[in-house]
Structure formats: structure tokens, C-alpha cells
Amino acid sequence: MQMVKRKRKYRRGYAVAILTGLESNRAILWKIFSEVVKLDRTILLDGVRSDPKAVYYFHESIVNALRPALNEGIRSIILASPSKTYHAQRFIDHIHRHHAWLFQNPNKAVFSEATGSAGTLSEVAALTRTSEFRKLICETTSEESENLIDVLEKLLNASNQDTIVLYSLKEIEGLILGAHKSGKPKIEYLMLTNKYLVDSCEKNRIHRLMQIAANRNIKTRIVDAESAAGLRLTQLGGIVSFAEG
């Protein structure tokens, strides 16, 4: 009897950041997960770098391409460009001039610059293996998480009766599963630590909840339990969801 080889389950883990490779004539967006890196999309420059109008529309196209990830709650953006180029800085300048909302809570994103090419999977693999890049990812995601904790702390201290902060899985499920009902407060975020997810005996239940949250456009972030933000979340039980009326 011939044995059927079981297909190995593909693991991508949870979303960590967006890596954007900026080149002279294109931008390549990669989604960095805890287990893998996946190509998201490629944006071509319609024209030349010396044409300000073409570069403006190119940068706007990159912002539009980032919006789905931002809406999911991924707000750590790494901009990689080859050495002796200014592609990353010019894109950041564009955001400061035309998208200042990306630097303000609760929409605040964290942009960091890395030197190197990220146009192909092999280039991305080489870049992400470096200690400098790993340190940059850690610093960027930590800053992003701390921004979210700042928002959470303000809600915890708010006197607004319409503000809701929940700490138990059961209560959070009730809030998210009923999010479509009229009169329910608008859910902003579902946050949990990676340790809470790994250690929980309710993994399937949590993953289902996260999928429903994503389907209902609720931003979800998994935070490193060892970070300052993760330690604060652990104090609150490891999982938090907050909503405003």
C-alpha cells in the first residue's frame, strides 16, 4: 500500500511590517510576516526621476498601495533604497508635505530607512538577514506599538462614557461579533502579545476572532511581549480591544 505524503502546512505567521524597495524607476512592496516575506505589489514610475510631476504621482501611487496595509493596522514601514541614493528621503518628504495625517495619532505610522536593494526575493532575503535590518525592524515595530499604547492609555484615562476598553477574550468576542449591529461602538483595534497567542489553549478561537476582525476592517496588531508595549499589554492580560462610540 502506497503511503500518501501529507502536504506540509504553510506557515506565514502574523504581519509585522511593510518593506518598500525604492528604485530609480519602480517601488516594490513586500509584506513581512513573522515567518516569511511575501511580495505585495510593484509600482512603476511613469516617466523619469527628473520630472517632478511624474515623481509626485509615483509617490502618490506608493501611498495608495500602502493604504490596505495601513487599514489592517500595519504601521511599521521600512523604506529600502540603494546606497548613495535619496529615494527614501524624498518619499518621506512627500509624505510630510501631502500626508501629514500619517504622523499623527491614531493614524500614526513609523517610517524607517534601510540602505540596500529590495527589488527581488533574493535581495530581500539578503537584506533581512543582516543584524542591522533586524535591529531596525525591532526599533520600528516597538515605536509603532508604543504609539498604540499611548492611544490606549489616553482611552483608559478618558472620562468619555462612550469609550470601551475590554481585556477578556469572551468580552472582546462579544464586541467584535456584534460590531455590525447598529448602536454598537466603533472598534478601533484588537491588540495582543505574541506570547498570549502562543501560550493560549484557545488558538483556533483567537485566529477565528482575528479573521473576523480583519473582515470587518478592525485593525489588528500582535505585539512582541518583550517590548515595552508588550509588557504593558501583559499587565492588562495580554489581549485588549478598544472602541469609541
Does 193 reside within a domain? Answer: yes
Residue that terminates a domain, selected from 76, 108, 143: 143
Where among 119, 143, 167 does a domain terminate?
143
Whether the full predicted model's pTM is greater than 0.85, yes or no, is yes
In-domain check, residue 153: no
Q: Is residue 215 part of a domain?
A: yes
168 and 225 fall within a common domain: yes
The pLDDT, as a whole number, for residue 4 is: 46
Mean pLDDT confidence for 219-231 = 92
Q: CB under 8 Å to 93, separation ≥6 — which residues?
A: none
Question: CA 192, CA 148: separation in Å to the nearest integer?
Answer: 12
In a domain, 135, yes or no: yes
Residue 41, C-beta contacts closer than 8 angstroms, at least 6 positions apart: 28, 29, 65
Q: Supply the pLDDT for residue 156.
A: 84
Quick check: is 71 in a domain? Answer: yes
Residue 176 sits in which domain range? 158-244
pLDDT at 118 over 80: yes
How buried is residue 82: exposed, middle or buried, by Cβ count under 10 Å (0-12/13-18/19+)?
A: middle
12 in helix, strand or coil? coil
Residue 1 within any structural domain of the chain: no
